[in-house]
Amino acid sequence: MAIADTFPRTREEGPVAPVYGLKPEVDGLAELYAWVDEIAALTQPERVHWVDGSRAENDALLREMVAEGKLIKLNPEWRPGSYLARSHPSDVARTEARTFIASEKAIDAGPTNNWAEPAEMRETLQGVFAGSMRGRTMYVVPFSMGPVGGPLSHIGVQVTDSAYAVASIGIMTRVGAGVLREIAAGKHWVKTVHSVGAPLAPGEQDVEWPCNDEKYIVHFPETLEVWSYGSGYGGNAILAKKCFALRIASVIGRDEGWLAEHMLLIRVIDPAGRAYHVAAAFPSACGKTNLAMLRPTIPGWRVETLGDDIAWLRPGEDGRLWAINPEAGFFGVAPGTGESTNVTAVETLWGNTIFTNVALRPDGDVWWEGLTDEPPAELTDWEGKPWTPASGRPAAHPNSRFTVSAAQCPQIAGDWDAPQGVPLDVILFGGRRATNVPLVVEATDWTHGVFLGSTISSERTAAAEGTVGELRRDPFAMLPFCGYNMADYFGHWIEVGQKLRFDRAPRIYQVNWFRKGSDGRFLWPGFGDNARVIDWIIRRIDGEVPAVDSPIGRLPRPQDLDLDGTDVTQADLDELFAVDPVSWLREADLTEEFYAKFDGRIPAALQTELASLRYRLQRA
């Protein structure tokens, strides 16, 4: 008898609150059954639950977590169907230092990834996973990234002992029998394994947020597997997200000729009703969600949201680049999200949301820095401690999160989950730069655009470990997420561009909403006014306005930016678009230092772009 058949399945058959899911009886799943049995034999769970993705199942799971003290149910008058989770203080962000690419050759991981020898890492993982789920339920979650059966979609199965992860996967992906039918029909599926690494002895009381100080997030690109141990945090536990949809998918895209990108996806509609599709890559916590849910301040313009974090881009037979958002939900940063910065996100969070590490109000609702201009008089902070404005510490963790269905977004596009995706007109690359980088720069062609993407740098944010504010290179906003050698990734971008018709390929731009003046203040108002930059970009691709050549790319003429109703002065514009050759030559030196890390694998075309940049700067 298979191990998955030996565990209690119903309320009557076992001492557990929810009804435990039956093993699906579907022809063609022998490989899946065998794999589940193998993982169960290794991890030794108390029971196995096959997740069907139903509302009843999810409700039972949430009730069980509330009963166990792992979730706090919020006041349904203020936030119906919503819950608050508090993580362990040591488990609040992606653990990049413990994230590994276990490729067969170290060079295939490259210098920006932590490489692990596959056989040695498998031995290590076998050791830590052995018995790791004792006393717990092992959930089997079949999921699809993209609409089930869609031409750009891919599927996977996650096994996990975290009910929090299961509930989150149910929001972020498409879970259910449709995925099993895809597997039964022979479609390839990615195997992902997750344990919080906190087995329970008989009779041992569980903790509010189980995790382990020892952590591993390991990707095997040759076999398309992910193994994650020790963390319950979303980015380390929702393996369909960064681990699959970026690191593993980037490898699949390399092999199949498409791109898996850390990008938002929007449709911009001008006053004449013409629609344009924009993908934009920004590092975490640098404004992606705000732009994804942009409400333009220019009359007559509107934005429809297609995705806020990940886009898969595939060349079409028509010579255009087509994109889908493979996710079904938003896993967004809460602090800084408020009525004045992102009213759409606030409206999206009206209910049916899982919040993590935000503060709790006395009335049973939640709060975080930036939600309102004035904080409440008293709160319970993200660690469960009393808090007042005089406490001298944040009430919510800087990387606190919300997980919510994309379908709840009030400006979600009606076809946001269309299987075929949308054709791209514009690609934006951006980061958080106080100096040097202008408000917007147009690439002269696709290769120059790839060069711009490869040189992106940003100030480190609270979404990842490290010193907040430290400048780090983050090419294409993919530094933590590229599943193979990044120099080869740059080359793959160039190859994808060669598959596009030159007159149908999306135009590439670099933007920087965060440049500061000599007085230390932000020069650009940002948020809804970022539509003014997109307005100029669209007029550029329609050939309606000229641009000014500079050593680093094409810049707007100041008179071509619609600044009506803003406080942006001519002096601000002068600083926003200032290109200092001396500073940029230092920037070129930093780029050369970064390229040198790749031991000669940087594409020759990008080395030529760097040499040309230096030549233009020296002549400026």
With tokens 């970009």, the residue in question is 537
Q: Are 475 and 455 in contact (CB under 8 A)?
A: yes
CA distance linking residue 519 with residue 501, whole number of Å = 45
Q: What Rg, from alpha-carbon coordinates, does the chain have?
A: 24
Residue 198, both tokens: 């906190």
Task: Give me the helix-helix angle, 118-129 and 30-43, nearest 10°.
Answer: 70
List 211, 243, 286, 409, catalytic entry: 286
Say how many C-beta atoms besides its own lie within 10 A of residue 69's C-beta. 13
C-alpha count within 13 angstroms, C-beta hemisphere, residue 344: 24
What is the 8-class DSSP label of residue 18? S
387-390 long-range Cβ contacts below 8 angstroms, 24+ apart: 387/359
Question: Which residues partner with 540 through β-bridges?
Answer: none
With tokens 């069907």, the residue in question is 52
C-alpha closest to that of 18 among 52, 61, 72 = 61
Q: Are 281 and 230 in contact (CB under 8 A)?
A: no
CA distance linking residue 283 with residue 429, whole number of Å = 9
Q: Are 212 and 98 in contact (CB under 8 A)?
A: no
Centroid of chain to Cα 453: 17
Q: Are 470 and 93 in contact (CB under 8 A)?
A: no
Helix (H) or strand (E) segment spanning residue 426: strand 426-430
Q: Are 184 and 148 in contact (CB under 8 A)?
A: no
Name the 3-class secondary structure at 562. coil
C-alpha count within 13 angstroms, C-beta hemisphere, residue 447: 14
Q: Kindly report the CA angle at 353 between 347 and 358, in degrees rounded to 5?
A: 90
Q: Is 496 exposed, middle or buried (0-12, 13-18, 19+ CB in 10 A)?
A: buried
Annotation says 211 is catalytic = no
> Which residues are marked as active site?
286
